[in-house]
Structure 1
Amino acid sequence: MGKQGQTELNRYQLDKAIKKYHDNMCKYMRMKDELDSLTVGASTAAYGIEATMPKAVGGNSDPVHAHVQIRASREVRINKIKNELIVVQNLIDKVYGDIEQEVLYWLLEGLPFRWIGAKLNMSHTSVQRIRERILDMMLFHMNPK
């Protein structure tokens, strides 16, 4: 762990996190909304003669317990996505320069190099070079030597 609880990432992992940022943000918001809107639809244990019958071996037959386990595993996935988003968000303010900030904004929106280049009147290879500078700035602030 680095400063401010940041996870140490290498260049490839940081580049991948930036590329997946938009998709992860959409996925995080969707999953969070779904989890918040879920209601416990599981029924309670049976009463009467059904309660005294033998239960299946090997698993928990309590539907509420199963629902809680599903919910907990979903929360683990949500927190993993959240942590990846936070790492990128903590490094955004470390990027300086108008063109670098503009390219980073469009990259975080999930747009391709050619679209960004056309929007900013430059070639897609120039956008790739600027992305490399952005990664250098972010990595420098993540791993100052």
Structure 2
Amino acid sequence: MELINNYPFYISRIEELRKKYSAEVGGSSTAQYGVESVMPKAQGGSSDPVYNEILRRVKMDKELSRLESKARYIQNRWDRITDERMAIIFNLRLSGMTYLKIAEEVDISAQRVYQVMQDVCLLLTD
């Protein structure tokens, strides 16, 4: 249920990270010069800005892979939902609608929407 509820966040975050990642891959780091180059550096960490930038990009890449994996888990199981009403409710939830809004849209109770989503979760589970 958590994967389905967070799906809109995963998709928007993936889009955001891909934009940042593609914009930064072509960029380069600016070396320090002037007063900043002779100032004392913090102890305990690497003072190499290129290395630190690589570490930051590796973290961003790991987060992107993790989110893509979660989104792909749901996307690879869409075909398991064969009931039309269940598919409509599922797609509305993936679009980010709340249970209450879905209930108004489909003209059923919010409790029934929750029950349908529980059934969807059972279908999507391996």
Helix, strand or coil at the partner of 2:31: coil
Which is richer in helix? 2
1:74 matched to 2:60? The reply is: yes
Runs of 4+ more than 6 Å apart: none
Q: Offset of 1:58 from its aligned partner?
A: 3.1
**Matched residue, 1:112:** 98
How far apart in 2 are the matches of 1:135 and 1:61?
Answer: 48
1:89 matched to 2:75? The reply is: yes
Helix, strand or coil at the partner of 1:20: helix
Alignment of 1:1-145 (within 5 A): 15-38=1-24, 39-43=27-31, 58-139=44-125, 142=126
Instruction: Show structure 1 runs of 5+ residues with no match.
Output: 1-14
How far apart in 2 are the matches of 1:59 and 1:133?
Answer: 50
How far apart in 1 are the matches of 2:28 and 2:6?
Answer: 32
How far apart in 2 are the matches of 1:126 and 1:72?
Answer: 43
Instruction: Show structure 2 runs of 5+ residues with no match.
Output: none
TM-score norm. by structure 2 comes to 0.86
Query: Number of paired residues?
Result: 120
**Paired residues of 2:29 and 2:49 also in contact (CA < 8 A):** no
**Paired residues of 1:18 and 1:88 also in contact (CA < 8 A):** yes
**Paired residues of 1:42 and 1:67 also in contact (CA < 8 A):** no
Percent of aligned pairs sharing the same letter: 17
